[in-house]
């Protein structure tokens, strides 16, 4: 008797998928950690992971299972999201340890690993009760990256052929990074003073930045470039004239000094306000999701058929117990510097922002998910609460960053899990197996991220030209200001007002604000990548898809430069 193909068990959560997925999680996590520390942005690893998976499984191992491929990308993409959450926050503590070694200590690898692990597991578990109402039932949520990844996997052999573009990009990115950052045969960045107006312009020699500009698209890269021009050709000249003692000579050093000590704080204000604006706009989305998730029944029914089994999530009792255990774990484990109050805040903000993140990526995709805004909101509330309850100074600042880091990782992983579950829903994957895969990816990535952060910090130092850690620098400034160390609040307020003005004129705030905050070369080079995207779209008569060969080449460029940067950091240590 033949088995009904609709309920036939398919090869899915296999040892091969686990091993390959873990490798990709570590590789893409490390590459995105380097990228995020350099430019303050990360890119989704789902489509590149799916393409590499197909190349290995189909042509090397001769295995043909679309669900096994999907499991590999599910596990592999967790590394990128967990890295984003960690590098946006934790480097702040390393920076304090460098500036004030008598008060602060740099986090040990165990501490980073446990913070990342707790946040990642919470992000996966909190998504379990949201899968049905958001991904299965809500047809208004499209989950663009999840659909694109499903399209790549369904393309089968045609999609696998695109793998060569990923590997070509990986080799090219690594080669250029070796020439510039390793052999030092040419500079990695160029900066030129603009004498007539006392501004500055430049560009970076970076395949990764070109790839980022292409992937985020023409609109975002243009807005970011506009913020760069405003910061370096408008604000910089104004402040150069207004600041006493700026001197009559104008050179690269003068421009860098004024940008670092003045212009960047305007960018901080704009980013913070932009994050709050994004958060306020997402509140109706949150309330809707909360109402729907609050009436979800336990799915541990008496499922007797294989068809029912293949639609199950992880048991709800296990989810509730896991969340409760993790909150107690965060509070009681000494390696995580969080008090009972901090653990309570993590539980509240974690569920809140996991829901917001899952819905936001369904509406606008992962690239526009306001994780920075969620983290800023968490940091402000956590820092104020800690200060008012007497936890101040170094202990309060570290605790605030730890709380913000866990919540940031929760939001990032929840968004990634939502996209992966959408891909699985389209392909007919088993939800509980995918959720198990996400847990495995989180564990593997958590074990690696601590070593990656420590390695990069010891090799180049957070806040340096090589890894400026822009998001973490901003989080650090916010906590310092609230705890009373003092900030140029006038400049920050000016940036906040500028963000409000942009909002009134319906200009997206975050790309412009990030452009003001980043070094000029980053914005210029990403804009070139955006122009390339416009040209490709124009030639093809429409938008490039997720399986577009240049998109995959761009993903390879990012991964190649990032991985080469990690290797160069290892050499730098020795």
What is the reported pLDDT for 302?
38
pLDDT band at 448 (very low <50, low <70, confident <90, very high): very high
Give me the pLDDT at residue 355, please. Answer: 79
Note the pTM of the prediction, 2 decimals.
0.78
Is the pLDDT at 148 greater than 50? The verdict is: yes
β partners of residue 199: 194
Residues β-bridged to residue 204: 189
Whether 304 and 506 have beta carbons less than 8 Å apart is answered as: no
C-alpha span between 390 and 388 (Å, rounded): 5
**Per-residue pLDDT, 9:** 45
pLDDT confidence band for 2 (50 / 70 / 90): very low
> Which of 319-328, 367-376, 461-470, 514-523 has the least mean pLDDT?
367-376
Question: Which residues are 200's β-sheet partners?
Answer: 193
Tokens in use for 515? 């452009």
- Higher pLDDT: 58 or 448? It is 448
Residue 45 has pLDDT above 80, yes or no: no
Main-chain dihedrals φ then ψ at residue 175, nearest 5 degrees: -65, -45
199 membership: H or E segment, kind and range: strand 199-204
pLDDT at 525: 92
Mean pLDDT value across the chain: 83
What pLDDT was estimated at residue 162? 65
Mean pLDDT, range 166-177, rounded to an integer: 87
Q: Which of 171, 125, 373 lies closest to 272 in space, CA to CA?
A: 373
Q: What size, in residues, is the chain?
A: 574
Which tokens is 48 given? 């590149």
CA distance 50 to 27: 14
pLDDT band at residue 158 under the 50/70/90 scheme: low
3-state secondary structure at position 17 = helix
pLDDT score at 292: 53
The secondary structure of 419-440, three-state, reads: HHHHHHHHHCCCHHHHHHHHHH
- Evaluate if residue 237 carries a pLDDT over 50: yes
pLDDT of residue 253: 85
**Whole-angstrom distance, CA of residue 362 vs CA of residue 138:** 10
pLDDT at 368 over 60: no
3 band by pLDDT with thresholds 50, 70 and 90: very low
Q: Mind listing the pLDDT tens digit for each residue in 284-316?
A: 655 555 555 444 434 433 343 444 456 788 888
Q: Does the CA dihedral 213-219-223-228 come out positive or negative?
A: positive
pLDDT of the residue at 149: 78
Q: What pLDDT shows up at residue 17?
A: 92
Report how far residue 104's alpha carbon sits from residue 99's, in angstroms, rounded to the nearest whole number: 9
For residue 21, the model assigns a pLDDT of 93
């Amino acid at each position: 008797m033949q088995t009904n193909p609709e309920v036939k068990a398919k090869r899915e959560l296999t040892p091969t998928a686990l091993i390959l997925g873990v490798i990709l999680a570590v590789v893409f996590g490390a590459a995105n950690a380097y990228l995020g520390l350099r430019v303050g942005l990360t890119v989704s690893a789902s489509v590149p992971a799916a393409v590499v998976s197909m190349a290995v499984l189909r042509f090397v191992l001769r295995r043909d299972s679309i669900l096994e491929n999907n499991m590999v990308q599910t596990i592999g993409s967790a590394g990128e999201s967990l890295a984003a959450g960690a590098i946006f926050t934790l480097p702040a503590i390393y920076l304090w340890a460098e500036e004030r070694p008598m008060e602060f200590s740099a986090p040990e690898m165990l501490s980073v690993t446990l913070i990342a692990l707790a946040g990642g597991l919470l992000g996966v578990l909190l998504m379990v009760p949201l899968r049905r109402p958001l991904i299965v039932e809500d047809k208004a949520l499209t989950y663009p990256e999840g659909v694109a990844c499903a399209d790549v996997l369904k393309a089968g052999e045609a999609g696998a052929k695109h793998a060569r573009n990923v590997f070509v990009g990986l080799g090219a990115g690594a080669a250029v990074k070796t020439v510039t950052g390793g052999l030092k045969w040419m500079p990695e960045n160029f900066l030129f003073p603009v004498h007539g107006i006392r501004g500055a312009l430049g560009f970076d020699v970076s395949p990764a930045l070109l790839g980022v500009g292409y992937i985020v698209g023409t609109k975002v890269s243009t807005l970011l470039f506009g913020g760069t021009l405003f910061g370096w050709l408008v604000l910089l000249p104004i402040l150069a004239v207004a600041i006493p003692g700026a001197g009559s000579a104008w050179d690269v050093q003068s421009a860098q000094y004024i940008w670092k000590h003045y212009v960047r704080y305007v960018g901080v204000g704009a980013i913070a306000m932009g994050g709050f604006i994004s958060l306020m706009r997402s509140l109706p989305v949150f309330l809707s999701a909360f109402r729907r998730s609050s009436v979800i029944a336990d799915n541990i029914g008496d499922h007797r058929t294989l068809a029912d089994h293949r639609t199950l999530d992880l048991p709800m009792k296990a989810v509730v117990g896991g969340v409760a255990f993790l909150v107690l774990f965060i509070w009681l484990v000494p390696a995580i510097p969080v008090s009972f109050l901090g653990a309570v805040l993590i539980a509240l903000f974690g569920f809140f922002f996991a829901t917001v993140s899952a819905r936001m990526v369904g509406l606008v995709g992962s690239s526009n998910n306001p994780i920075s805004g969620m983290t800023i909101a968490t940091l402000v509330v956590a820092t104020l609460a800690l200060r008012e309850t007497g936890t101040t100074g170094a202990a309060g600042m570290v605790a605030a960053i730890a709380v913000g880091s866990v919540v940031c990782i929760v939001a990032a992983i929840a968004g990634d899990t939502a996209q992966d579950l959408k891909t699985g829903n389209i392909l007919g994957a088993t939800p509980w197996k995918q959720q198990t895969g996400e847990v495995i990816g989180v564990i593997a990535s958590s074990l690696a991220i601590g070593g990656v952060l420590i390695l990069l910090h010891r090799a180049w130092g957070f806040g340096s030209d090589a890894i400026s850690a822009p998001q973490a620098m901003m989080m650090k400034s916010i906590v310092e200001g609230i705890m009373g160390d003092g900030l140029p609040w006038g400049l920050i307020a000016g940036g906040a007002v500028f963000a409000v003005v942009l909002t009134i004129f319906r200009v997206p705030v975050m790309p412009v604000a990030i452009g003001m905050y980043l070094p000029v070369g980053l914005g210029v080079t990403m804009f070139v990548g955006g122009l390339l995207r416009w040209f490709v779209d124009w030639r093809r008569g429409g938008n490039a898809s997720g399986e577009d060969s240049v998109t995959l080449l761009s993903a390879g460029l990012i991964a190649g430069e990032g991985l080469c940067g990690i290797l160069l950091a290892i050499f730098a240590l020795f």
